[in-house]
Amino acid sequence: MNKDLVSTIADLNEQEALKIVKDRLSAGEDPLKIMEDARKGLEIVGERFASSEYFIPDLVYSGEIMKLITELVKPQLTREEETRKSGKIVFGTVRGDIHDIGKNIVTFMLDVNGFEVIDLGVDVPEQKFVDKIKESGASIVGLSGFLTLAFDSMKQTIRAIEDAGLRDSVKVMIGGGQISEEIRKYTGADAYGKDAMAGVTLAKKWTGVN
């Protein structure tokens, strides 16, 4: 039965998935367990996306299914359970760049995998990243940029984090467009992810979540 929810979500079967959730809730099952299965289903969606089997619209659709499931399960969760997240991540598209489709995919996948994502949007100035890191106490920063020119903004953002004395308290990942190991070195980031799943893997590694 548990496997059913995982696979129906993985197969993007909205009606079936919602029915299973309702049945399991009325059977009095632990809501956290249901959410965990839903996350597993979305993880498979993410894997299928990474292998080109699924595409952007599929991912967006899976997000909509997840939203509906959350709405069903949420009333059953205690406040503490609801906010139990694996770690805080400040994320944004760097200054000068306004592309956010890639960034939205990563933040979605991170959210699904239990991270609390603070999304600063696009064309984000260096200082805004610094302020948000201070304010939230996030331990991970994600810098996104599609334009090759965004690499300079990434470098400047990381320098600003360093100047604010925060560099040692955060891990920085970069992604988007044609990022490589050379560019990671150039910007001074800790790591780069070539797709959304790579970003999730990094975040899990850094926070010690399995």
Partner 1 sequence: MSEFTINFEPLGLRGKCKNNESLLECARRSGVGINSICGGTGACHACRVQVLSGTVSRPSTVEYKVFTSKELKEGWRLACQTYPISDCKITVPADSMTTSQRLQVEGLEKKVSPELPFQVYHVKIAPPSLETPVADADRLIQALNNQHRLRCTSVDIDTLRDIPGQLRSWNWESQVVVRNKEVVTILYQKSRQLGLAIDLGTTKIAAYLIDMNSGQTLAARGIMNPQINYGEDIISRINKVIKSSEAAVVMQRLTLDAINELSADLCAAAGARPEEILETVVVGNTAMHHLFLRLPVKQLAFSPFVPAVSLALEVRARDLGLNIAPGAYVYLMPNIAGFVGADHVSMLLATDAWKAKETTIALDIGTNTEVSLIYGGKITTTSCASGPAFEGGHIKHGMRAAAGAIERLRIDGDKVQYQTINGGPPVGICGSGILDALAQLYQANIIDNSGRIIDSHPRVRVHKGQREFVLVSEEERNGKPAITITQHDVRELQLAKAAIRTGIQILLDISLCSEDDIKQVIIAGAFGSYINIDSAVAIGMMPSLPLNRFQQVGNAAGMGARLALISTRSRAKAQAIASRVKYVELASSPEFNKVFVQANYLGPYQITNK
Bridge-based pairing of strands 116-119 and 88-93 is: parallel
Minimum distance of partner 1 from residue 129's CB (angstroms)? 16
Which of 114/145 has CB closer to partner 1? 145
Min CB(117)–partner 1 separation in Å: 17
- Site for partner 1, residues 122 to 161, rule: CB under 8 A: 122-123, 147-149, 152
* Cα separation, 209 vs 188, whole angstroms: 24
Q: Which is nearer to partner 1, 121 or 137 (CB)?
A: 121
Q: Which of 49, 115 has the CB closer to partner 1?
A: 49
Distance CA 106, CA 184 (A): 18
Interaction of residue 47 with partner 1, rule CB under 8 A = no
Residue 180 binds partner 1 (CB under 8 A): no
Contact map string, positions 90 to 129, toward partner 1, x by CB under 8 A:
-----xxxxxxx--x-----------------xx------
Smallest distance, partner 1 to C-beta of residue 171, A = 27
CB 117 within 8 A of CB 107: yes
The nearer residue to partner 1, 16 or 190, going by C-beta atoms, is 16
Region of 177 on the Ramachandran plot (φ > 0 left; ψ -120 to 50 alpha; else beta): left
With 0-12 / 13-18 / 19 or more C-beta atoms within 10 angstroms meaning exposed / middle / buried, residue 138 is buried
Q: What residues does 141 pair with on adjacent strands?
A: 90, 172
Stretch that binds partner 1, among 27-35, 53-61, 128-136, 154-162 (CB under 8 A): 53-61
CB of 201 to partner 1, least distance (A): 18
Query: Smallest gap, in angstroms, from Cβ of residue 151 to partner 1?
Result: 8
User: What Å distances lie between residue 108 and 102, 128, 139, 148, 179, CA to CA?
Assistant: 10, 21, 18, 23, 20
Counting contacts by CB under 8 A, is residue 57 touching partner 1?
A: yes
Pick one of 15, 52, 83, 210: the residue that binds partner 1 (CB under 8 A): 52
Kindly tell me the sign of the dihedral angle through the C-alpha atoms of 46, 194, 83, 32. Answer: positive
Residue 96 has phi, psi (to 5 degrees) of: 90, -15
Torsions phi, psi for 166 (to 5 deg): -105, -5
Q: By CB under 8 A, name the binding residues for partner 1.
A: 51-58, 60, 95-101, 104, 122-123, 147-149, 152
